[in-house]
């Protein structure tokens, strides 16, 4: 009888273990694979870049006609290229919004162009221009006189210089990509607070690196694909660039006072080639960042 009771108790214990074993396995499995919460990173690193809005700026306009060639004006050439660029971007990347700072022959003030870019929360600012050389002074029969200098050809891509960083910082503080962030930045920004300055410098450095990278991509397309002469990528204190709180470049598409370049800049084939090079650069830039 004692043996029977003992055996019965052992059987009950075994049954309990058998019933509990699946529950124990399930508990171990679920607790072993609980995903750890990611460590919160810096705002600028944690934000995934998404190219949503490109601002296309046709340089000059109205009375500020810009550089002049023998038969054309910069303001007209830049507007024609800007419209073609708008259409090409929308065709190649239909999910991207393209904002134009100028859509007719009228002029738009430099600050207004930056305001348009910032108000539309642009992710990339592209300003289209034409280059020109000033007259050179030569001596003819003992007399100094000015003559047109048509010796230069090709492209030049500009990014903003360091000497206007205070203006750039102001634009970034007022126009961070997210409205909530911008509100927090403006209300609580303290130039003496290390946290505020770290955040501000992070955005400033990010925009500058992206500006230079995009400028390099554009210049490479002009040179390597189109075979055009180039002055490279250089820094200049361009107001419209440093006041736009986003990666920004200014593209000098050619020397309008050079006969060959002027003809190229005014031709359908030349304008389409310029536009296609810029679009290819945008596609590469987007792939790198997204």
The CATH number of residue 263's host domain is: 3.40.630.40
The string of pLDDT tens digits covering residues 205-229 is 888 899 999 999 999 999 999 999 9
pLDDT of residue 203: 74
Helix axes 268-289, 259-266, angle to 10 degrees: 70
- pTM of structure: 0.77
pLDDT of residue 41: 44
State the total domains in the chain: 1
pLDDT of residue 263: 98
Which range is least confidently modeled, 8-22, 66-80, 130-144, 247-261?
Answer: 8-22
Evaluate if residue 12 carries a pLDDT over 60: no
Helix locations, 47-98, DSSP H:
74-92
Query: Is position 163 within any domain?
Result: yes
Helix locations, 33-162, DSSP H:
43-46, 74-92, 110-119
Query: Is position 225 within any domain?
Result: yes
Residue recorded with tokens 């919460």: 37
Query: Is position 164 within any domain?
Result: yes
Query: Is position 93 within any domain?
Result: yes
Higher pLDDT: 162 or 248? It is 248
Higher pLDDT: 74 or 243? It is 74
Identify the H or E element spanning 21: helix 2-32
Evaluate if residue 22 carries a pLDDT over 60: no
Rounded CA gap, 158 and 203, in Å? Answer: 20
Query: Is position 57 within any domain?
Result: yes
Query: Is position 152 within any domain?
Result: yes
Evaluate if residue 15 carries a pLDDT over 80: no
pLDDT of residue 1: 47
Q: Annotate 121-137 with DSSP letters as a single string.
A: T-SEEEEEEEE-PPPEE
Q: Is 288 helix (H, G, I), strand (E, B) or coil?
A: helix
- Please count the other Cβ atoms lying within 10 Å of the Cβ belonging to residue 267: 11
Residues of the chain above pLDDT 70, percent: 70
Tokens of 75: 């303001």
Query: Is position 106 within any domain?
Result: yes
Q: For residues 188-213, give the mean pLDDT.
A: 73
Q: What is the separation, in whole angstroms, between the first and last Cα of the chain?
A: 77
Rounded CA gap, 260 and 274, in Å? Answer: 15
Rounded CA gap, 249 and 126, in Å? Answer: 5
Domain extent for 112 = 51-173+206-289
pLDDT of residue 37: 43
The string of pLDDT tens digits covering residues 59-71 is 999 999 999 999 9
Tokens of 133: 């050389």
Q: How many CA atoms lie within 13 A of 213 on its CB side?
A: 17
Evaluate if residue 277 carries a pLDDT over 70: yes
Q: For residues 130-140, give the mean pLDDT.
A: 86
pLDDT of residue 48: 59
Q: Which residues, other chains included, contact 220 with Cβ-Cβ below 8 Å and sequence gap of 6+?
A: 281
């Amino acid at each position: 009888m004692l043996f029977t009771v003992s055996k019965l108790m052992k059987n009950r214990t075994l049954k309990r273990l058998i019933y509990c074993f699946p529950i124990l396995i399930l508990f171990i499995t679920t607790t072993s694979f609980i995903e750890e919460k990611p460590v919160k990173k810096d705002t600028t690193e944690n934000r995934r870049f998404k190219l949503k809005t490109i601002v296309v700026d046709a340089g000059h306009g109205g009375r500020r006609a810009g550089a002049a060639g023998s038969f054309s004006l910069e303001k007209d050439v830049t507007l024609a290229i800007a419209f073609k660029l708008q259409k090409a971007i929308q065709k190649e990347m239909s999910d991207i919004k393209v904002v134009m700072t100028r859509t007719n022959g009228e002029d738009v003030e430099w600050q207004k162009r930056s305001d348009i870019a910032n108000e539309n929360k642009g992710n990339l600012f592209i300003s289209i221009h034409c280059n020109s050389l000033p007259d050179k002074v030569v001596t003819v029969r003992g007399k100094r006189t000015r003559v047109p200098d048509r010796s230069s050809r090709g492209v030049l891509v500009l990014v903003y210089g360091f000497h206007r960083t205070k203006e750039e910082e102001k634009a970034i503080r007022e126009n961070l990509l997210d409205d909530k962030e911008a509100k927090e930045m403006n209300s609580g920004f303290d130039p003496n607070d290390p946290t505020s300055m770290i955040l501000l410098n992070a955005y400033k450095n990010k925009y500058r690196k992206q500006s230079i990278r995009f400028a390099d991509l554009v210049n490479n397309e002009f040179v390597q694909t189109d075979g055009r002469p180039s002055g490279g990528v250089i820094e200049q204190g361009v107001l419209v660039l440093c006041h736009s709180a986003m990666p920004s470049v200014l593209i000098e598409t050619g020397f309008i006072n050079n006969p060959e370049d002027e003809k190229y800049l005014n031709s359908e084939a030349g304008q389409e080639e310029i536009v296609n090079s810029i679009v290819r650069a945008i596609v590469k830039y987007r792939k790198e960042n997204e």
